Structure formats: C-alpha cells, structure tokens
Structure 1
Amino acid sequence: MITLKEILAGTEKGYAIGNFNVHNMEYVQGVVEAAEAAQSPVIIAITERPLKYYGIDYLINTVKAAEKNCSVPLCLHLDHGDNLDIVFKCIEAGFSSVMYDGSHLPIEENIANTKKVVEKAAEYGIYPEAELGKLQGIEDGKESTESALTDPEEAKRFVDETGIAVLAVAVGTAHGFYDGEPKLDFERLKAIREKVEVPLVLHGGSGVPAKSVKKAIDIGISKVNVGTELKVAFNQGIKGVWEENPDEIECTAIMGAAREGIKNKVIEKIDLFRSNL
C-alpha cells in the first residue's frame, strides 16, 4: 500500500483517482478486483462507523489480504475521521492515509486540530487529507443539513498554516443522492485551484453527472469519493439473487452477487475518472 500523496502523483495530467468506501470483505474484494481488471490505482476508504463495528485490525487485515492478489497500487484511507483519537489509532495501526474532518468546527479550531494530525502523520511518513467547507447530506450515519462552500482565500490560509498535503473542498456536491441535478460551482473550484497547489478532493461523488465530474477533473480535482452508489450496487446484487431464486440461502451466492455489483460499479467509475492508464 502506498500513501495518498504517492497515489495522487501525476493526476495533474488530467485524471483522478477513485476513493471507494468499503464496509466489509465483499466490498474490499470487489474494489480490488475492479482495480486489477481495469489496471488502475484505487483508494480503499473506511469511515469511523465500520471501524467501530468490525474493529481496525479486522478491516486492515482484510485489505492486506486482498492486496496480495493485486498488481496495481492501493491506498488504505481513513475517510472523514472527525475523532482525533481514532485518526491517531488508524495512523498507528498501519493505514497509509488518513483524512481529518474538522469542517464542522470554526476555522481556527479546524486548523489547530489539523496541524496535530499532520504532525502525528509525519512520524509515520503519511500525508493527510483535511476538509475546508461543509457538505450537506448523510455520511457515516451522521446527517448535516447545513452547507458552506469553500472560500478560496481561506483555502490558501488553511493549506499554508496546516501543511496539509491534500484538501477536500465544498463546491456544491453533497453526501448521498441528490434531489435534482447538483450545481457545481466551477468558478469557485478554479479560484481554489489557483490559490493552492496541493491536490483537491471532490466528496459526494455519487450521483454527480459524468459531464460535471469530467469538468471538475479538468479544472484540477485529483480524487473523487464514491460511497452511496456502491451501497446501491451491493444491495442490488443481493436483491437480484432473491428475485431469481427467493429460496436461495447459500451465502457465497448471495454475497458473491453483491461483490460483483461493487466490482462493476468501480470499473464504471474508473473509466469516468480516466485513471486506467
């Protein structure tokens, strides 16, 4: 597994790396099988909720087992870690990347906490992601009804003062699916790109039209997060098995179909992100 900084190197050439949120072994297998089939690097992301449910060791060892059968670079990433203790535990446990999310805090507190994460991560050769601005929607079981688009000047200050290596920005996307078509603020994204040099991240990538994703990548997005669409693909795979055979009880058949759904969706996203180089 490689670091976030390493896996995003080269994305300025006009592609982005997919950040795919996983929840169990079948998710991990589906993402890794897709990466191998498409010959694309991928970021395997885990949020705090499954970490608390399964435990850090269980999930990190699942990813390490999958890595043995993969010839392309993988990055194991903590997504939306808003608890400093959990962020530090993931760093110590062997995650190759972490994101600290202090976007819900006043900027001064976000900067102070992010600096702590940067300093801790540096001890392990990790280059963290952090977020400035706030997305609406439900992420990891937590709902936010407020949003705050990223201010370009604040983005520059945030990067300069924290030393963060990767910046997640709010430019009109949301967690979960959308009511209608999301309106991305491309001019704001351009302004942020001009102010900061670090790679930029688009959270809330599920349901964003392909044309908007491509334009965001062309402007300078290096990483696109996908979570909700994978949940749908996983559940549709299971539903398809029972629609065909309502009496099916074999777990390998049921979960195998869910894994295949994940794999197909990830391949679709890799093609959209143009990372299958």
Structure 2
Amino acid sequence: MLVTGIEILKKAHKEGYAVGAFNTSNLEITQAIVEAAEETKSPVIIQVSEGGLKYAGIETISSIVRTMAEKASVPVALHLDHGTDFNTVMKCLRNGWTSVMMDASKLPLEENIKVTKTVVEIAHGMGVSVEAEIGKIGGTEDNITVDEREAAMTDPEEALKFAKETGIDYLAIAIGTAHGPYKGEPKLDFDRLKKIKEMLNIPLVLHGASGVPEEAIKKAVSLGINKINIDTDIRQAFARRLRELIEKDSEVYDPRKILGPCKDAMKEVIKQKMILFGAAGKA
C-alpha cells in the first residue's frame, strides 16, 4: 500500500526502530526493495535522488514505484532524496511522491529555514511529508559534494530552532557518516544524536549508512534514528553479482538472465538491512 513517509516513521519513532530508505533508479532495484519488504514484512521507503530522476525520468520512475507500492502487502512511501532544487521538489509533488526532502543545508541557517518552511507549507497542503537536513553529511552523492574535513556536525540548538520554525516531519542530522564508500571506519557522535533526539522528539534520519558497522547502526537506532538511507551497499551488491555472471559465462546476453540474479543479490542485502534496523515484522 502506498502511504506517506510520516505514517511509516511515526510508528518507528514511537516503537523505537528504524525503517530502511533504499534508493532506486530502475525496475529491478524497485522490485528488489518491494520483494525484500514483503518477505520480511517490513514497512519501507523507496527513494529517488535527483540523479535518479534524471536517469529514469520523473514520470517513469513514479509509475514504476507507485504501481508496485499500491499492489504491495506492506506500507511503502515514495520519497525524494536530497531535493536541492525547489522546482524538482514541486515536480515530485505533482507526480505522486508521498514524501520529499528539501535539502537546503548548504545555505545559511535562516535561508535554509525560509526555503524549507515554504516547501513544508505546500507539501503539507497536499498531504505529503517533508524531510530536511541541517549540518553537512560528508562525501559525495550525485551532485552533492561535501569535503569530509569540512563536514559540519549538526548543532542541537540549531536543530531545535530549525524544526520548530519549519514544521518538518523528520530531520536528517550529521553525526559523522558520509556518502559513498568509506576509507576507514566511521566514528559516530552518539552523544550528539542522543541530545538532538531528546530535544526534538521527532523521527531522525541517518544518511550515508552504507558501510557503517552493524553495532554502530544498532546503537544509533536505540538512540533515536528512525530512517536509515542505503544506496552504496545495493549498488555494490549489483556490481559484484554482475561481474560473477560475466566471468562465469561471457556469452550470456539475455538481460533477464543477467538482471534477474543481480536483483536477487540486491534483495538479500536489503533484507539484511531491514532485519538489522528492527523493521522486520513491523508492517
């Protein structure tokens, strides 16, 4: 069933688990996400980045996700990941997204508040949930790059001001994660996370979670993370299986015989994440 983001995350916030938000840009990834959610009986958020929209086409990817979500036996939300462009956010609202992220985190705080508040007013008027970001997540994702040395942690007082003045439904915070593969083991600022959760008392989002050790993920969830973004782990599972197939049979040419096993590899990774996050059985 297709639902809003806050319908899924309100329950996670109340019961103390996290919902996986998995990026898609085509049919096979979407199939892997929905099948994994149904097999583990997990609520799930399927998200598309601006790069994913450009690759697949906004109407096409909307149709794929919405069709599968409406037939799914578990709650599914369609989310815009890192919407940095106001017009792109509006296009997603017009094309059936049930959750959007307005990422104006590169702007000064007051400007971020102003832009995000406008999106919240419009989206809420359409019954759509809104995520925003304060602080900067390190690394690179699509067209967003933050030097890891300059990545700023989220300030709890600023986060409280931001949440109150914008009316957002959930907030992405910077506590030491990064987009893309890690060069070493990430060190998360759990004290900062705990303080922000206690002050805001809303669902919190962890970006750049691919590659974060399982114990760190579990602790983050126990301290109030309710939405965890995963993209790189899925891409790597796809690439590994693809290489294995080609090495085993260089003459294979049927896309179904190539993409089918790759989909299954992605699905297994997604199922593992759903179980790790505590979402399995929560649908």
**TM-score bracket relative to the smaller structure:** over 0.9
Secondary structure class of the residue paired with 1:128: strand
Moved more, 78-87 or 5-14: 5-14
What does residue range 40-189 of structure 1 map to in structure 2 within 5 Å?
A: 40-145=42-147, 146-189=150-193
Are 2:25 and 2:55, in contact at CA under 8 Å, matched by a contact in 1?
no
Task: Determine if contact 2:159/2:196 at 8 Å carries over to the other structure.
Answer: yes
Which residue of structure 2 aligns with residue 218 of structure 1?
222
State how far apart, in whole Å, the 1-side matches of 2:264 and 2:241 are: 7
Match of 2:269 among 240, 265, 272: 265
1:234 corresponds in structure 2 to: 238
Amino acid at match of 2:139: G
Runs of 4+ with >4 A deviation: none
Tell me the CA shift for residue 196 of structure 1: 0.3
Mark the runs of 5 or more structure 1 residues left unpaired by the alignment: none
Q: CA deviation at 1:68?
A: 4.5
Give the whole-Å Cα distance in 2 for the aligned partners of 1:133 and 1:242.
42
User: 1:10 maps to what in 2?
Assistant: 11
Root mean square deviation, CA, Å: 1.0
Judge which range, 219-228 or 233-242, deviates more.
233-242
Deviations 1:52-88, CA, capped at 9 Å, x for gaps: 2221110011112322542001000000000000001
Q: Secondary structure at the match of 2:20?
A: strand
So what's the TM-score if we normalise by structure 1?
0.98
The gaps in structure 2 that reach 5 residues or longer are none
Decide whether the 8 Å contact of 1:237 with 1:260 is kept in 2.
Answer: no
The whole-number CA distance in structure 1 between the counterparts of 2:151 and 2:163 is 20
How many percent of aligned residue pairs carry the same amino acid?
A: 47
CA contact (8 A) 1:81 1:99 kept: yes
Structure 2 contact 66–78 (Cα < 8 Å) conserved = no
DSSP 3-state at the match of 1:131: strand
Q: Partner letter of residue 22 of structure 1?
A: T
| C-alpha separation in 2, matches of 1:165 and 1:67 | 21
Structure 2 distance, partners of 1:217, 1:68, is 28
State the alpha-carbon separation in 2 of the partners of residues 242 and 112 from structure 1.
51
- Match of 2:145, SS state, is strand
CA drift of 1:50 comes to 1.7
